[in-house]
């Protein structure tokens, strides 16, 4: 299908509807500014490569801000953009809904 057939919502979900994006957004929401190593420490199951890819994707969507400092050793910090801050209440609703219906959903996860 051509990209023009998708709605903006479908395109956005396609870009950040992976395993890690929402988790990273919620971590940044809870903790404010975080460094790469702090994110990785809070997400032990994610590989360094996947974390880097996910952060680049979220940055390209203007959902996170990357601030690099020219220090030795180099320091890079990540934070939510205003756009992402507007998205957080909606993600919180999605998370709450999922938790509320977890039992019902889990019985159907294997069938999907």
pLDDT of residue 22: 93
| CA separation for the pair 65, 91 (Å, rounded) | 18
pLDDT at 67: 97
Report pTM.
0.84
Residues 54, 59: Cα–Cα separation, whole Å:
9
Which pLDDT value is given to residue 21? Answer: 94
What averages of pLDDT result for each successive group of 10 residues across the chain (112 residues)?
Answer: 67 80 96 96 96 96 95 93 96 90 77 60
Question: What per-residue confidence (pLDDT) applies to 1?
Answer: 44
Structure confidence at residue 18 (pLDDT): 86
pLDDT at site 55: 97
Torsion sign across C-alpha atoms 10, 27, 89, 78: negative
pLDDT at res. 109: 67
């Amino acid at each position: 299908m051509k990209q023009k057939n998708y709605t903006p919502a479908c395109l956005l979900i396609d870009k950040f509807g992976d395993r890690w994006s929402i988790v990273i957004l919620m971590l940044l929401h809870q903790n404010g500014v975080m460094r790469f190593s702090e994110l990785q420490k809070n997400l032990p199951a994610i590989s360094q490569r996947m974390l880097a890819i996910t952060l680049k994707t979220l940055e390209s969507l203007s959902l996170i801000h990357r601030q690099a400092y020219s220090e030795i050793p180099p320091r890079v910090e990540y934070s939510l953009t205003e756009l992402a801050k507007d998205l957080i209440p909606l993600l919180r609703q999605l998370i709450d809904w999922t938790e509320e219906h977890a039992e019902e959903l889990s019985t159907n996860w294997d069938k999907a």
